Amino acid sequence: MSAIWTSFFSQFYIRNNSNSLQCWEHYNTQRTNQTTLMDPCFEDASRLHGEISRRLAFLKDKGKSIIKSKMIWKHVKREGQVCLFTFTVSNKDRDLLTWLGKNNVDQFPIISSKECPKQDPSSVDSGIAVTYIIKRLSEGLELESTFKKGAMTQQRAHVLGRFLNNNNDS
């Protein structure tokens, strides 16, 4: 089973299947040299990993009571401010909370993936590149060493289409 939550993990992917280590992978599409072990973004990713792990541990501890109450608090940005709102637990929320209850995600290590497509240094498509990687991995597809010609244009159209046709379930 693969678990990906694009809105939650940004550049992280939890690899969780019988063929691989349960871990977080960090993908840096702007990393220029594959032979260099140093990745300045990885330090930031490690801090983010720690924060997300603490939040997931909290959700894991509270998961059964959240499911039972059928209500969940979520951070939502409205009019430039982040506020907490109560929502009815959706099927996706229930699936996530159930999965968290069965897994020790907060104990998964983080690794820096060396196998990641690289974007042109002059590109400003980092966000689109991240959604491209997440989409490919969530579909069980391998990542290429470089982005195919037109991949960012197609992914930008895909993301725009999802926003324009959002039914609050995607």
Q: What's the average model confidence in pLDDT over 98-105?
A: 85
pLDDT in tens, 13-72: 455 444 445 778 888 877 665 555 667 778 888 888 888 888 888 888 999 999 999 999
HEC string for 31-97: CCCCCCCCCHHHHHHHHHHHHHHHHHHHHHHHHHHHHHHCEEEEEEEECCEEEEEEEECCHHHHHHH
Residues 6 or more apart whose CB falls under 8 angstroms from that of 64 comprise 97, 101
Q: Which two tokens stand for residue 38?
A: 């140093």
Q: Is the pLDDT of residue 121 over 50?
A: yes
Alpha-carbon span 57 to 101, nearest angstrom: 9
User: Can you tell me the distance from the alpha carbon of 91 to that of 94, in angstroms, rounded to the nearest whole number?
Assistant: 5
Q: Where are the domains of the chain?
A: 6-63+107-164
The pLDDT of residue 19 is: 46
H or E stretch including 101? helix 91-102
Residues 140-156 have pLDDT tens digits of 888 888 888 888 899 99
What is the pLDDT, as a whole number, of residue 36?
A: 56
Q: What is the pLDDT of residue 17?
A: 47
Q: Give the residue among 117, 122, 126, 100 at the shortest CA–CA distance from 14.
A: 100
Average pLDDT, the chain: 78
Q: What's the predicted TM-score (pTM) here?
A: 0.62
